[in-house]
Amino acid sequence: MNLKETVKQKYGEAALRVFEGGGGCCCGPKLPTGLAQTARMSHEIYTDSDTVGIPAAAITASLGCGNPTALAQLKPGETVLDLGSGGGIDVFLSAQRVGPTGKVYGLDMTDEMLALARQNQTKAGVENVEFLKGEIENIPLPDGLADVVISNCVINLSVDKSRVLREAFRVLKRGGRFAVSDVVLCGEIPATLRNNPELWAGCVAGAMLESKYKSELAAAGFVDIDIEPTRVFRAADVREFLSAAGAEAVSVADQADGKIMSAFVRATKPATGGEDLSKAKTVSKIQILGTGCSRCRDLTANAQKAVQELGIETEIEKVTEIEDIIKFHIFMTPGLVIDGQLKAAGRVPSVEEIKQLLVAAGGN
Ligand X SMILES: C[S@@+](CC[C@H](N)C(=O)[O-])C[C@H]1O[C@@H](n2cnc3c(N)ncnc32)[C@H](O)[C@@H]1O
Q: How many residues bind ligand X (CB under 6 A)?
A: 25
Length of the chain: 364
Q: What is the DSSP letter of 53?
A: T
Nearest to 154 by CA among 269, 265, 279: 265
Distance CA 206, CA 216 (A): 15
The DSSP call for residue 236 is H
Cβ atoms 232, 186 nearer than 8 A: yes
Judged by CB under 6 A, the chain residues 141 through 180 that form the site for ligand X are 152-154, 157-158
* 109 vs 227 by CB, closer to ligand X: 109
- Measured from the CB atom, the residue of 62 and 94 that comes closer to ligand X is 62
Q: CB of residue 8 vs ligand X: minimum separation in angstroms?
A: 6
Site string for ligand X, 5-44 (x = CB under 6 A): --x---x------------------------x--------
Taking CB under 6 A as the binding criterion, the range among 135-143, 245-253, 305-313, 355-363 that sits at the site for ligand X is 135-143
The interface mask with ligand X, positions 68-107, x = CB under 6 A, is ----------------xxxx-xx-----------------
Question: Does the active-site annotation cover 293?
Answer: yes
Instruction: Point out which span in 56-64, 166-174, 229-237, 328-336 binds ligand X (CB under 6 A).
Output: 56-64
Q: Among 335, 331, 339, which Cα is nearest to 320's? A: 335
Considering beta carbons, is residue 85 or 192 the nearer one to ligand X?
A: 85
Given a contact cutoff of 8 angstroms between Cβ atoms, the answer to whether 139 and 167 are in contact is yes
Determine the Cα–Cα distance for residues 169 and 325; give it in Å rounded to an integer. Answer: 35
Which of helix, strand or coil describes residue 358? Answer: helix
Backbone torsion region of residue 80, taken as left when φ is above 0, otherwise alpha when ψ lies between -120 and 50, otherwise beta: beta
Active site residues: 293, 296
- Residues near ligand X (CB under 6 A) are 7, 11, 36, 62-64, 84-87, 89-90, 108-110, 113, 135-137, 152-154, 157-158, 203
